[in-house]
Amino acid sequence: MKPLLLYVEDDVNLSFVTKDNLELAQFQVVHCTNGLDAWRCFERQPFDLCILDVMLPQSDGFTLARQIRQIDAEIPMLFLSARADKDDRLQGLRLGADDYMTKPFSIEELILKINVFLRRRKPPVSAGSCQTIGLYQFNFQNLTLEKDGQLQTLTHREAEVLHYLMKRPNTLIRRDEILKTIWGDDDYFMGRSLDVFISRLRKRLGHDPSIRIENLHGIGFRFLF
Amino acid sequence: MKPLLLYVEDDVNLSFVTKDNLELAQFQVVHCTNGLDAWRCFERQPFDLCILDVMLPQSDGFTLARQIRQIDAEIPMLFLSARADKDDRLQGLRLGADDYMTKPFSIEELILKINVFLRRRKPPVSAGSCQTIGLYQFNFQNLTLEKDGQLQTLTHREAEVLHYLMKRPNTLIRRDEILKTIWGDDDYFMGRSLDVFISRLRKRLGHDPSIRIENLHGIGFRFLF
DNA sequence: GAATGGTTGTTAACGAGATGTTAATGAGTT
DNA sequence: AACTCATTAACATCTCGTTAACAACCATTC
């Protein structure tokens, strides 16, 4: 799963290039141009790291940082600033920034520093990201499927198939496509195997009637929820 | 307990001032003037953080950093350098440095940065600290596992495996990951060895039914408590 | 709509390989 | 020589993807 970054920067040209580069480096980036928007984003979803420009229209970077720190004492924050002076840097660090880069900065260095802090991030209590399907929580990394406290452990193949279906809900997924991807090939027996797994998954998800795995005769399946 | 810093720097005047300031800031500092001495110090006792000058007589800072990283993948490292150029900084970061400061640096900034990384350090399991698992107290350093007065002494390998499992409770931990980390490689016999240790640990933890080491067939284990 | 041929749903059985466990081995220490 | 401990061996047991078997279903043809 790609790390999710919150990038706040009002310079349109710079932010365009930077975001592009970060995405190339396999990060997922949400970009905001001012502190207010950034704050709304931050409240809406959990990020892995923040990159904040110090000079921002409406609420400067420091204010935003303070707000964020109040909610999340752990999230790594990198500051960007055009001003290089010492007091600025010190204030940033005192506010709970983890590093302070001066513009113009090297994108490569930024990426390395991001990785420093992602590496140092304390492992979440129960690692791996969950996906929600109806009443269930599916954790692909941990092979778990949870419904109000009840934990099922899936087998490797079960998790693979479920994961594949979940990536494309409510659309037609061809049999041969699944087989090629997960089994690596497509023959009669693999097809039968797939059917067995579909059947097992239906049973595992059976307690939520809003979830269905529909068969389209001769073509494939549709995962509905 | 004051954090213990390893400070490697050959400039006598600078190091004198810096060490003094760091001690004022409530750090305990071991200062070495060259890479060889530093390496000997590092092997002798566990440090909380390293501050390395890049230019050193006998083995430069980068070489030292590489050596240190091989033994300890976690310890935070800050580089100091008179050279400010970008390639130098990048090389440092790639080598596993956490930050790179250019001389002359502000001592206050150094202290703030040290604190950033000490704060981010994963909670030390070393240094004789105990971890509680259910009814047990596990001390990785002393290889002891205690339950209401009853003391068991683990072997080195047993402790390593338990330690690794405890770092990530309730998550799937892959076999190959454990083997790569603890045994350094992953072949059939090492795998069997791991199974033997899992079995022994289960027996040692057997008096607390709330602790379980679950196997996920073909993939790894889950340490539940 | 009955017959046919292919597809899918479901359950059970199978078996290769993974794991659990105990004991034997042998290298290194005391 | 006695001891410690990781590894290897040996054997028992378990798991899970596959295969089998049969029933239900669908589409097409007569």
Nucleotide nearest to B183 (CA to C1'): D6
Q: Residue A123: what pLDDT? A: 58
pLDDT tops 60 at residue A124: no
For the entire predicted model, the pTM comes to 0.61
Most confident stretch, A41-55, A163-177, B32-46, B83-97: A163-177
Residues of B in contact with A121 (CB under 8 A): 120
Q: Would you place residue A211 in the very low, low, confident or very high pLDDT band (cuts 50, 70, 90)? A: very high
Asked whether the beta carbons of residue B167 and residue A123 sit closer than 8 angstroms, the reply is yes
Residue pair A109/B90 in contact (Cβ under 8 Å)? The answer is yes
What letter does residue A219 receive in the DSSP assignment? T
Q: Residue B129: what pLDDT? A: 62
What letter does residue A30 receive in the DSSP assignment? E
Nearest to B172 among A76, A98, A143 (CB): A143
Residue found by looking up tokens 């399907």 in the block = A133
Instruction: Kindly give the residue spans of alpha helices, DSSP state H, lying in A25-60.
Output: 35-44
Strand C positions closer than 7 A to protein CB: 7-12, 17-23
In tens, the pLDDT along B172-222 reads 999 999 999 999 999 999 999 999 999 999 999 987 888 999 999 999 999
And the tokens for B82? 């008179």
Residues of B in contact with A93 (CB under 8 A): 109, 112-113, 116
Contacts of residue A204, defined as CB under 8 A and 6 or more positions apart, other chains included, come to A145, A152, A154, A158
Q: What percent of chain B has pLDDT over 90?
A: 52
CA distances from A10 to A55, A139, B209 (A): 8, 36, 56
More confident residue, A22 or B91: A22
pLDDT tops 80 at residue B122: no
Query: CA(B167)–C1'(C8) in Å?
Result: 45
Nucleotide nearest to B214 (CA to C1'): C19
Query: What chain B residue is nearest to A109 in terms of C-alpha separation?
Result: B90
Neighbours of A184 (CB within 10 A): 8
Three-class secondary structure assignment of B106-174: CHHHHHHHHHHHHHHCCCCCCCCCEEEECCEEEECCCCEEEECCEEEECCHHHHHHHHHHHHCCCCEEE
Angle at A11 between CA A92 and CA B89, to 5 degrees: 55
Nucleic strand D within 7 A of Cβ A86: no
- Beta-bridge partners for A136: A133, A147
Q: Residue B44: what pLDDT? A: 79
Query: CA(B18)–C1'(D18) in Å?
Result: 68
CATH number attached to the domain at B130-224: 1.10.10.10
Tell me whether the CATH fold assigned to A4-121 matches the one assigned to A130-224: no
| Cβ pairs A/B, distance under 8 A | 68
Asked whether the beta carbons of residue A127 and residue B168 sit closer than 8 angstroms, the reply is yes
Give me the phi and psi of B131, to 5 degrees please: -115, 140
Domain topology for A4-121: Rossmann fold (3.40.50)
Q: Residue B67: what pLDDT? A: 82
Q: Which residue is nearest to nucleotide D19 (CA to C1')?
A: A189
Residue pair A194/A175 in contact (Cβ under 8 Å)? The answer is yes
Give me the phi and psi of A155, to 5 degrees please: -80, 170
Asked whether the beta carbons of residue B112 and residue A94 sit closer than 8 angstroms, the reply is yes
Nucleic strand D within 7 A of Cβ A190: yes
Asked whether the beta carbons of residue A126 and residue B98 sit closer than 8 angstroms, the reply is no
Overall average pLDDT of the A199-222 stretch: 93
Show residues, CB within 7 A, near nucleic chain C: A 175, 191-192, 195-196, 198-200, 202-203, 215-220; B 175, 191-192, 195-196, 198-200, 202-203, 215-220
Residue found by looking up tokens 């097809």 in the block = A191
pLDDT tops 50 at residue B65: yes
Asked whether the beta carbons of residue A112 and residue B99 sit closer than 8 angstroms, the reply is no
- Contacting A with CB below 8 Å, chain B residues are 76, 86, 89-90, 93-94, 98-99, 106, 108-109, 112-113, 116-117, 120-123, 167-168, 170-172, 214, 216-219, 222
CB-count burial class (<10 Å; 0-12, 13-18, 19+) for A45? exposed
Spans of all domains in chain A: 4-121, 130-224
- The Cα–Cα gap between B8 and A219 comes to 67
Residue pair B169/B225 in contact (Cβ under 8 Å)? The answer is yes
Quote the minimal CA–CA distance from A111 to chain B in Å. Answer: 10
Asked whether the beta carbons of residue A93 and residue B99 sit closer than 8 angstroms, the reply is no
What letter does residue B216 receive in the DSSP assignment? E
pLDDT tops 50 at residue B5: yes
Q: Residue B84: what pLDDT? A: 72
Residues of A in contact with B109 (CB under 8 A): 86, 89-90, 93
Q: Would you place residue B125 in the very low, low, confident or very high pLDDT band (cuts 50, 70, 90)? A: very low
Quote the minimal CA–CA distance from A108 to chain B in Å. Answer: 8
- The Cα–Cα gap between A39 and A65 comes to 10
Q: Would you place residue B127 in the very low, low, confident or very high pLDDT band (cuts 50, 70, 90)? A: very low
CB-count burial class (<10 Å; 0-12, 13-18, 19+) for A194? buried
Q: Which residue is nearest to nucleotide D7 (CA to C1')?
A: B193
